[in-house]
Structure 1
Amino acid sequence: MTVKRSAGLLVFRTSGGGPEVLIAHMGGPMWAKRDAGAWSVPKGEYEPGETAEAAARREFVEELGLPAPDGDKVPLGETRQANGKIVTVWAVEGDLDPAAVVPGTFTMEWPRGSGVEREFPEVDRVAWFTPEEAAHRLVAGQRVFLDRLEQYLRER
């Protein structure tokens, strides 16, 4: 069995009030009524031959419809999520307006078993949060990236 791998970019900004991170609420009917644990770092799967960093930049554009920030990428490492997928993330400092996001879409059968294919946004909203606010919203397996970002910010 091949392990699925994803890569993403955790965009952050700092202000007088401290750091904020940009995370995305997952789109589609399965996540529509959830908040806690229903947000993610913009990320996606990559294939052999594609570097994780290239996939992270590509997926940012595909999911948010905006170019990835050009700042220095801070490696936050990888983690294995509960579903077994290995996720690699870089932090990058930048600022963007969530209202400018034009999410990509995916198609799935909905309702399940109906035979009807419907299109849904990959993400249905994007917002800035403090790391503390983001922690309970993020998928549990990605919360480690907030800790690693905070450690980096303390040390820089």
Structure 2
Amino acid sequence: MATTSAGILLYRIDPDGTVSALVAHMGGPFWARKDEGAWSIPKGEFDPSQEAAWDAAAREFREELGVAPPDVPYVELGTFAYSSGAKTVTVFCGDGTGFLTSDADRAALVFGEFEMEWPPRSGRRQCFPEVDRVEWMPLADARRRVVAGQRPALDALGGLLG
């Protein structure tokens, strides 16, 4: 059975007309030295019988980034299936112009944490941030750097904004 996730994809139109997206670099030791394919839309798992997709997306945004999503109108971009079939993600987008615009804004974020055994088979449990940084990046850059299963959401955003 596929894992169900929901997330928020914020965008802004830069002064030169470029569309940029806010994406997060995944935290933890596995992703520490990776860039391409190591970024994600802020999102997380939920049980659709217990929680609405929008509520889960907003909750996960707060948990991962430590701040509430901006109070702007959101549009559901759609539900996208990863090629493995193991996961679907419902993505909501909103205009994040003015949100987390400075290095200081982003440096002040307090990221959520997860616990895992590290090093593997050591019996030791350690805490790591769910994400270790966020950046605004042009859609073309974000598309190259996010996990493959989320690229269709970036394509849908590009199509929506024309």
Is TM > 0.5 for Structure 1 vs Structure 2?
yes
1:82–1:111 distance in 2 versus 1, CA, 3 Å: farther
1:85 counterpart (76, 84, 87): 87
More deviation, 53-62/89-98: 89-98
Counterpart in the other structure of 1:117:
125
Q: TM-score, normalised by structure 2?
A: 0.91
Task: Tell me the alpha carbon deviations over residues 56-91 of structure 1, each in whole angstroms, 9 at most, x when there is no partner.
Answer: 000000000011111111111011114411111011
Instruction: Look up the SS of the partner of 1:5 in the other structure.
Output: strand
CA distance in 2, matches of 1:31, 1:68: 24
- Runs of 4+ in structure 1 deviating by more than 6 angstroms, as ranges, are none
Q: TM-score, normalised by structure 1?
A: 0.94
Counterpart in the other structure of 2:11:
12
1:100 counterpart (108, 116, 122): 108
Counterpart in the other structure of 2:45:
45
Alpha-carbon distance, 1:98 to partner = 2.1
Contact persistence 1:101–1:126 (CA under 8 A): no
Alpha-carbon distance, 1:15 to partner = 2.3
Counterpart in the other structure of 2:65:
64
Task: Tell me the alpha carbon deviations over residues 67-123 of structure 1, each in whole angstroms, 9 at most, x when there is no partner.
Answer: 111111111101111441111101111122322321000000001100000000000
Task: Please tell me the residue identity of whatever aligns with 1:90.
Answer: F
Counterpart in the other structure of 2:136:
128
Alpha-carbon distance, 1:146 to partner = 1.0
Task: Please tell me the residue identity of whatever aligns with 2:160.
Answer: Y
Alpha-carbon distance, 1:30 to partner = 0.7
Counterpart in the other structure of 1:75:
76
CA distance in 1, matches of 2:14, 2:117: 43
Unaligned runs of 5+ in 1: none
Task: Tell me the alpha carbon deviations over residues 118-152 of structure 1, each in whole angstroms, 9 at most, x when there is no partner.
Answer: 00000011101000111110001101111111111
Q: How does 1:132-143 map to 2 (within 5 A)?
A: 132-143=140-151
Unaligned runs of 5+ in 2: none
Task: Please tell me the residue identity of whatever aligns with 1:81.
Answer: Y
RMSD after superposition = 1.1
More deviation, 111-120/70-79: 70-79
CA distance in 1, matches of 2:83, 2:66: 28
Identical pairs, percent: 50
Contact persistence 1:57–1:68 (CA under 8 A): yes
Instruction: Look up the SS of the partner of 2:24 in the other structure.
Output: strand
